[in-house]
Amino acid sequence: MKFKIKTAVIGATGYTGLELVNLLSRHINVKLLYLCATKQIGKKISLFDKRIKKKLPKISSVKKIDWKKLDLVFLSLPNGEAQKIINKTFYKFNHLKYIDLSSDFRITNPKIYKDNYKINHSAQKLIKYSLYSISEFNNNKVSNYRIIANPGCYPTSIQLPLIPLINKNLININDLTIDSKSGFSGAGKKFEKKFKHKNLYNSTYAYSTFKHRHICEIDQETFKLTKRKIKYSFNPHLLPTFRGILTSIYLKKKSNVPLSKIRNELIKFYKKSKFIKILKLNSEIGSGNVLKTNNCEISICETRIKDKIIIFSAIDNLMKGAAGQAVQNMNLQFKLNESLGLK
The alpha carbon torsion through 221, 225, 230, 236 (nearest 10 deg) reads -40
Residue 53 DSSP SS3: coil
Between CA 150 and CA 156 the distance in angstroms is: 10
The crossing angle, in degrees rounded to 10, of helices 324-333 and 15-25 is 50
Asked if 36 is an active-site residue, the reply is no
Residues near 226 by Cβ (< 8 Å), separated by ≥ 6? 163, 166, 167
Annotated catalytic residue, options 153, 216, 296, 301: 153
Kindly write down the DSSP assignment for every residue of 97-161, as one continuous string.
Answer: EEEE-SSTTT-S-HHHHHHHH----TTGGGGGGEEE--GGG-TTTGGG-SEEEPPPHHHHHHHHH
Q: Phi-psi category of 237—alpha, beta or left, where left has phi over 0 and alpha has psi -120 to 50?
A: beta
> Catalytic positions, please?
153
